[in-house]
Chains A and B, each alone.
Chain A
Amino acid sequence: EAGVAQSPRYKIIEKRQSVAFWCNPISGHATLYWYQQILGQGPKLLIQFQNNGVVDDSQLPKDRFSAERLKGVDSTLKIQPAKLEDSAVYLCASSLSRGANTEAFFGQGTRLTVV
């Protein structure tokens, strides 16, 4: 079974530029999470989708971050414009979320450096 795919693996941009990350969850997984992990800290939830609807985006900085999950499958996370403090690893995870199947599977992440 293929895992969660994320691209790109690495991205370096200048502040005030825009960037987009892509995530392809495991086939059939209803729940998709985007986390931001700053160096030395635990992953922080940015947004959670259930199919193509947003369940929780309370910690998403909506003035600059946006995310969508069209057709309830792939998802993109965009930052526009980027700030220095956005430098982090952006993790995508998916879960079947059906009955006892609550395990979340993570992608390798996208390491963003804003200079």
Chain B
Amino acid sequence: GENVEQHPSTLSVQEGDSAVIKCTYSDSASNYFPWYKQELGKGSQLIIDIRSNVGEKKDQRIAVTLNKTAKHFSLHITETQPEDSAVYFCARLKAAGNKLTFGGGTRVLVKP
């Protein structure tokens, strides 16, 4: 199928701790995996992405890992801050036709 499963649906962490969100997919034709942050009044913003020829990518406190064999990819946020509180969505792009499918979202709450 083309569904993307995302877990957990909610995540509460203490400020300074790490947050990890995991997504799994079943379509082996997927080659691009973006992560979006959705905040009220700000729309959806791309925060990091990874392509299928790379296993890991890092951007300051945010990293994404991809396991093509197991068909899962994860978002890691280190040293969380209150402004990281938002809903995060993973997605995968199917190369043929550029179809972009989203996971169900994870609501992250960072407690000060």
| B100 A33 Cβ-Cβ under 8 A | yes
Residues of A within 8 A of B24 (CB): none
Is B101 an interface position by the 8 A CB rule?
yes
Is B112 among interface residues, defined by CB-CB distance under 8 A? no
Partner of A91, one of B6, B44, B101, B104: B44
Residue of A nearest to B32 (CB): A102
Q: Give the number of A-B contacts (CB < 8 Å).
A: 55
Q: How many chain A residues have a CB neighbour from B under 8 Å?
A: 26
How many chain-B residues does the 8 Å CB contact rule pick out?
23
- What CA separation (Å) do A45 and B103 show in the bound complex? 11
Q: SS class of chain A's interface: helix, strand, loop or mixed?
A: strand
Q: Please determine whether A41 and B99 come into contact, CB atoms closer than 8 angstroms.
A: no
A residues near B, CB below 8 A? 31, 33, 35, 40-45, 48, 50, 55-56, 91, 93, 95, 97, 100, 102-109
Render B33-54 as a binary contact track against A, CB cut-off 8 A, 1 for contact.
0101000001111100101000
A55 to B32, CA, bound (A): 18
